[in-house]
Amino acid sequence: MPDTNQFPPFIKLLNLSKIFQAASMQFIALSDITTDFHQNEFTAVVGRSGSGKSTLMNMITGIDKPTSGRVIVNGIEIHSLPETDMAKWRGENLGIVFQFYQLIPVLSLLENVMLPMQIAGKFSHTERLDRAQKLLNKVGLQKYAQKRPYMVSGGQQQSTAIARALANDPPILIADEPTGNLSSGEAEKIFNIFQTLSSSGKTIIMVTHDEDLAKRARRVLKLVDGRIVSEKRQASPPSLGNPEVKP
Ligand code: ADP
Ligand code: MG
């Protein structure tokens, strides 16, 4: 695995704060977060429920705006982008994976993976088909392309969601509790897919409750009450996962 420290910061968070205002109450969800994520780096974000993990992801994806502070991705100050540019930027730069997969039930797995390419107006129909099939192969679902989401397991649905997130080949993957709804065996497979993707050049930020999985990421960033309390980078993670999963 390459040494991530040789790369310049790819995602930079500067003095990021988020305050939710409800009636007369103020709630500080993120407090003065400054950190960065290198290209190729696999970061696990941990912390108790309510510690601000999802809020932090929403700042990086541009789904929500910080109260103050800056998010700079590959030199672009994302919260200064107008909404239409933001949507385009997100489509080109980010793949997002959620806890509950959010696949479209009436579409086959293959069609689910093709959808972001159609939305982006990228590639010809034949190329979309070919790319989607290759992405499904990559996550071990070559035989399931024509199935609908309800016909396959939770782990297979999440693998499809990862393939979909990769559809337009974004440099960054953000996953918020991607294994939160899965058995430990399924979680292991999903984690191995992320690890392989990270080795092949993707920048990955994965929120997880699972401390054992988190420890195996290159870097663990821990939040307590909206603050970073540790952000260890290790020279080489304890396990590189299942070598059978090929990119
Ligand atoms: P986590 O993902 O770590 O469980 P969140 O980022 O979802 O935590 O939430 C952090 C805190 O911010 C929680 O206390 C939550 O109740 C609060 N919060 C999140 N979103 C909102 C919102 N839209 N309005 C008000 N409070 C919110
Ligand atoms: Mg959350």
Atom of ligand 1 nearest to the CA of 64: 23
Closest ligand, as measured to the CA of 20:
1
Each domain of the chain, given as residue ranges in start order, spans: 39-61+83-233
Per-residue pLDDT for 103 more than 60?
A: yes
Residue 224: which residues within 8 A CB-CB, separation 6 or more? 47, 48, 51
Q: Which pLDDT score is estimated for 120?
A: 87
Atom of ligand 1 nearest to the CA of 20: 25
Q: Which pLDDT score is estimated for 241?
A: 46
Place of tokens 């989607």: 132
Atom of ligand 1 nearest to the CA of 47: 3
**Average pLDDT for 81-85:** 92
Q: Which pLDDT score is estimated for 7?
A: 58
Q: What is the DSSP string of 62-98?
A: TSS--SEEEEEETTEEGGGS-HHHHHHHHHHHEEEE-
**Average pLDDT for 140-165:** 96
Q: Which pLDDT score is estimated for 236?
A: 64
Two tokens at 152?
Answer: 């396959």
Whole-model pTM?
Answer: 0.90
The CATH class of 39-61+83-233 is alpha beta
Per-residue pLDDT for 72 more than 60?
A: yes
- What is the rounded average pLDDT for all residues in the chain? 90
Atom of ligand 1 nearest to the CA of 177: 2
| Confidence at 8, pLDDT banded by 50, 70, 90 | low
Distance from C-alpha of 59 to C-alpha of 240, rounded to nearest angstrom: 29
Amino acid residing at 172: I
Instruction: Give nearest CA residue, ligand 1 atom 20.
Output: 55
Q: Which pLDDT score is estimated for 243?
A: 43
Rg over alpha carbons for the chain, rounded to the nearest Å, is: 18
Cα 181 from chain centre:
16
Q: Which pLDDT score is estimated for 174?
A: 97
Distance 6 CA to ligand 2 centre (A): 31
Top mutation candidate among 21, 51, 55 for ligand 1, by most atoms within 8 Å of CB: 55
**Average pLDDT for 27-39:** 95
Share of the chain above pLDDT 70, in %: 92
Q: Which pLDDT score is estimated for 23?
A: 85
Distance from C-alpha of 134 to C-alpha of 187, rounded to nearest angstrom: 22
Instruction: Give nearest CA residue, ligand 1 atom 26.
Output: 20
**Average pLDDT for 203-222:** 93
Closest ligand, as measured to the CA of 46:
1
Top mutation candidate among 54, 56, 58, 67 for ligand 1, by most atoms within 8 Å of CB: 54
Share of the chain above pLDDT 90, in %: 79
Instruction: Give nearest CA residue, ligand 1 atom 16.
Output: 50
